[in-house]
Chain A
Amino acid sequence: MHDLSPSGLSLSAPSRRALLRGIGGAAVLGAGIPLLSACGGSGTAADSKTVTVGSNASDAVPKKAFADIYAAFKKQSGITVDVNTKDHNTFQEQINSYLQGTPDDVFNWFAGYRMQFFAAKKLAAPIDDVWAKIGDNFPDAMKKLSKGEDGKYYFVPLTTYPWAIFYRKSVFQQHGYTVPTTWDQLVALCKRMKKDGLVPIAFGDKDAWPAMGTFDQINFRTNGYDFHVELMAGKASWTDAKVKAVFDHWAELLPYHQDGFMGRTWQDAAQGLVSKKSGMYLLGSFVAQQFTVKADLDDLDFFAFPEINPAYGQDTVEAPTDGFMVSKDPKNHDGVVKLMEYLGSPSAEQTYLKADPSVVAASSKADTSAYSPLQKKAFEMIGGAKSLTQFMDRDSRPDFTSTVMQPGLQKFLQNPKGVDSLLSSIERQKKTIFASA
């Protein structure tokens, strides 16, 4: 180390020049760092003719559907919508730093706890002025979903879709199956399908969230909507006998699920339904996106998860709702209000649904005449529900569902017998996470 200094003496002229070039390089590097940190949001200049939107619609179908809406909005108002699309999952994972940085004026988001969280953190702007105009377009259930904990509106819903059990009409016809309405009928149907060489229930849990959908269905059928809310809010205990009953039911059904689900994505599991190798599939209606042939899509149908406890029947529907929020400090406030009002109008929803028929409109005013039979059924199912849930990870704290529930449910699926120790472990972790609020 100590013979470093003399070498500085022997610098000749050309190497000094090289050294200065090096400094230039370092200066560029130094200047590059603040630039990098500014990459979070789109730095488009504020002008009254542009509204920026941060979008998570990275899949082809919804991306095209949103583009159609913005084109129609531009025609109507003359305001250009500058869309900044990110990969769906990445958008979700980066939402924290995105909203704290320089977010777009408007961004795609979900109703429920996940919306209220950012509203409470003051990372979203209240939009009561927008709702004063669009309020009549929505049913009460949607209004409730759009409000923060402080009672102000923060969200404009656009589309919603139900979770249900999907099946092929032709397969049910061919084997003479009937739609099960009670738990015992469901188990009996699974047995018959197995005998007929079908995989009774298609399943893929590689992404860890599909299992949460199954849990939700069995939970609110067994224990009712109120218990679902309490459990998700961290108030009810996971060691409660009611929760144990959910897992007991699930364990009864597990042998009829498709093998090898831990390594399978939902898209691959849906292929079993497309090829008529699987009899049923419990998923959101986005499963229809995997049916690319028109005849197959027409053959697709669904029914509500069967009744388990007669006290609750089939009164609850899991209907995750997607829509828009306004970031804390939008650059073009007037343009944002106009855009949000437009997004809350039935015509925006109709434009969207034309391009993406796997969901239904959140508004009760939207024209349903162009709906496919599947959409009509979904719309009726959601409209007729006594209570709507969002989804486990939308109704609860995302840190709890992603770090505790996802691995926890996967553990149960691997080893259904170890449910007691699993539940006490979940309860211990839940207490610390919910205490940290």
Chain B
Amino acid sequence: MTIDTSPKNPETAAVPSPGPAPARKRVPQGRKRLLTRRDRVTLAFMAGVPTVLHVALVWVTALASIALAFTSWDGIGFGSIKWVGLDNFRQLFTDNPQFWPAVQHNIIWFVALILIPTPFGLFLAVQLDKRIRFSRVYQTAFFLPVVVSLAVTGFVWQLVYNPDTGLINSLIGANKPGHYIDWIGDPHLNLWAVLIAASWRHAGYMMILYLAGLKGVDPSLREASSLDGANEWQTFKNVIFPTLRPTNTVVLVVTIIEALRAFDLVFVFNKGAQGTELLSILITNNIIGESSRIGYGSAIAVVLLVISLAVIIPYLIATFRKERRA
């Protein structure tokens, strides 16, 4: 299964690899003889441009926002940056009434995605893998929400949930005074309402990932297990699912990322009002705006970064360890 990790180096995939063992020996003299001046310039460009872009757009910006997290800045002129130490974090953890709910909602978002749409996506993938009739049509239908922009998704679901004229309230007659169900505004309901919309999309995404995984399962495994007399469920549980392990890892990582970067849907839905606060929305509300609190917003961004690293680093360590062993 280590083959799956090779696409990380697109260069190796793009160029057909020559016999590696003899080539490695010839490298030192070969480079001198075979690379013309133009080649070297070209290669320098190829390595240089992405490096510069990467450093400028990823590292410099990330480090700058970490540095800004310890300052107070209104975004106008560099002269107004003021060092405040840990003040932003202290305010965030003690005074901000939206911060802890936001952390909680990001976690709920992850748990809900992993418990409901992910198994459902797997279920759909298994059904579609059986080559039933119109399989392509179903595949397209379930995948469509993933293709549509989340902002559009949010807008469509907002029409469904609108308290006065929305589909649900009109159907069940909950748009009369005294019977209102405020799907968008009620803090006990709105997170779940928006999670249904998120799940609707996530299930399609998971379905495609699992479908790709299932296509890679060796058919002889199925044959062997049916020869051994296993029924469909036993085959799935004991043979197919274990071979999907690499797909499961990808699914887990994708779901964590989705939960941490959840933003667009909620922002369109109700701008992260009470009940649907999310870290990403708090960052936006503090940084974007007329007299922005860039330092404070950066502090929230740093918290989000730390959470992301806490999740991603163990995963990377595990992957590299596995690679080394193989």
CB of A263 within 8 A of chain B?
yes
Evaluate contact between B15 and A208: CB separation under 8 angstroms: no
Binary interface encoding of chain B residues 151-174 relative to chain A, with 1 for a CB under 8 A from any of its CBs, else 0 = 000000000011111000000000
Binding site for B on A (CB under 8 A): 1-11, 15-16, 19-20, 22-23, 26-27, 29-30, 92-97, 100, 114, 117, 121, 123, 199, 205-208, 258-264, 268, 271, 397-399, 402-403, 407-408, 410-411, 414, 425, 428-429, 432-433, 436
- Given the complex, which residues of A lie within 8 Å of B17, measured CB to CB? 3, 6-7
CB of B220 within 8 A of chain A?
no
**Measured between C-beta atoms, what is the minimum distance from B299 to chain A in Å?**
12
Binary interface encoding of chain B residues 74-114 relative to chain A, with 1 for a CB under 8 A from any of its CBs, else 0 = 11110000101001000100011110000000000000000
Interface residues of B in 20-79 (CB under 8 A from A): 20, 23-24, 26-27, 30-31, 34-35, 39, 42-43, 45-46, 49-50, 53, 72, 74-77
Evaluate contact between B15 and A11: CB separation under 8 angstroms: yes
Evaluate contact between A425 and B185: CB separation under 8 angstroms: no
**Measured between C-beta atoms, what is the minimum distance from A339 to chain B in Å?**
24
Evaluate contact between B180 and A259: CB separation under 8 angstroms: yes
13 A-B contacts (beta carbon < 8 Å): A6-B24, A7-B12, A10-B15, A10-B18, A22-B46, A23-B49, A30-B49, A93-B289, A96-B289, A100-B76, A207-B271, A399-B289, A411-B97
- Given the complex, which residues of A lie within 8 Å of B96, measured CB to CB? 429
B178 to A, closest residue via Cβ: A259
Evaluate contact between A7 and B18: CB separation under 8 angstroms: yes
Query: How far, in angstroms, from A29 to B39 measured CA to CA in the complex?
Result: 21
CB of B7 within 8 A of chain A?
no
Evaluate contact between A96 and B290: CB separation under 8 angstroms: yes
CB of B184 within 8 A of chain A?
yes
- Given the complex, which residues of B lie within 8 Å of A428, measured CB to CB? 95
Q: A100-B76, A123-B76, A411-B274 are in contact. Are A4 and B12 (CB under 8 A)?
A: yes
Binary interface encoding of chain B residues 175-189 relative to chain A, with 1 for a CB under 8 A from any of its CBs, else 0 = 101101111111100
**Measured between C-beta atoms, what is the minimum distance from B280 to chain A in Å?**
15
**Measured between C-beta atoms, what is the minimum distance from B265 to chain A in Å?**
15
B73 to A, closest residue via Cβ: A436
CB of B319 within 8 A of chain A?
no
Evaluate contact between B23 and A402: CB separation under 8 angstroms: no
- Complex partner residue of B98 from A100, A260, A268, A407, CB under 8 angstroms: A407
Interface centre among B20, B46, B274 (most CB of A within 10 A): B274
Evaluate contact between B76 and A436: CB separation under 8 angstroms: no
Evaluate contact between A398 and B11: CB separation under 8 angstroms: no
- Given the complex, which residues of A lie within 8 Å of B164, measured CB to CB? 260, 264, 268, 271
Evaluate contact between A425 and B95: CB separation under 8 angstroms: yes
| Given A23-B45, A399-B293, A436-B84; 17 other pairs, CB 8 A cutoff | A2-B24, A4-B9, A9-B31, A10-B18, A11-B39, A30-B49, A30-B53, A100-B77, A199-B177, A260-B181, A260-B182, A263-B163, A399-B286, A407-B98, A407-B273, A408-B97, A429-B95
Evaluate contact between A403 and B293: CB separation under 8 angstroms: yes
Size class of the B contact interface (CB-based, 8 Å): 35 or more
Q: Which DSSP category, helix, strand, loop or mixed, fits chain A's interface?
A: helix
Q: A121-B76, A268-B165, A402-B285 are in contact. Are A407 and B292 (CB under 8 A)?
A: no
- Given the complex, which residues of B lie within 8 Å of A117, measured CB to CB? 290-291
**Measured between C-beta atoms, what is the minimum distance from B50 to chain A in Å?**
8
Top 8 A-B pairs ranked by shortest CB distance?
A262-B185, A263-B184, A6-B23, A263-B185, A260-B180, A260-B163, A259-B180, A260-B182
Interface centre among B75, B177, B186 (most CB of A within 10 A): B177
Evaluate contact between A19 and B46: CB separation under 8 angstroms: yes
Q: A22-B46, A262-B184, A264-B164 are in contact. Are A410 and B11 (CB under 8 A)?
A: no
- Complex partner residue of B290 from A1, A114, A260, A271, CB under 8 angstroms: A114
Query: How far, in angstroms, from A177 to B82 measured CA to CA in the complex?
Result: 58
CB of B216 within 8 A of chain A?
no
CB of B235 within 8 A of chain A?
no
Evaluate contact between B42 and A258: CB separation under 8 angstroms: no
**Measured between C-beta atoms, what is the minimum distance from B184 to chain A in Å?**
3
- Given the complex, which residues of A lie within 8 Å of B49, measured CB to CB? 23, 26-27, 29-30
- Given the complex, which residues of B lie within 8 Å of A97, measured CB to CB? 75
B189 to A, closest residue via Cβ: A263
**Measured between C-beta atoms, what is the minimum distance from A265 to chain B in Å?**
9
Evaluate contact between A20 and B42: CB separation under 8 angstroms: yes
Evaluate contact between B15 and A15: CB separation under 8 angstroms: yes
CB of B270 within 8 A of chain A?
yes
- Complex partner residue of B42 from A3, A19, A93, A263, CB under 8 angstroms: A19
Evaluate contact between A432 and B95: CB separation under 8 angstroms: yes
Evaluate contact between A399 and B182: CB separation under 8 angstroms: no
CB of B212 within 8 A of chain A?
no
CB of B312 within 8 A of chain A?
no
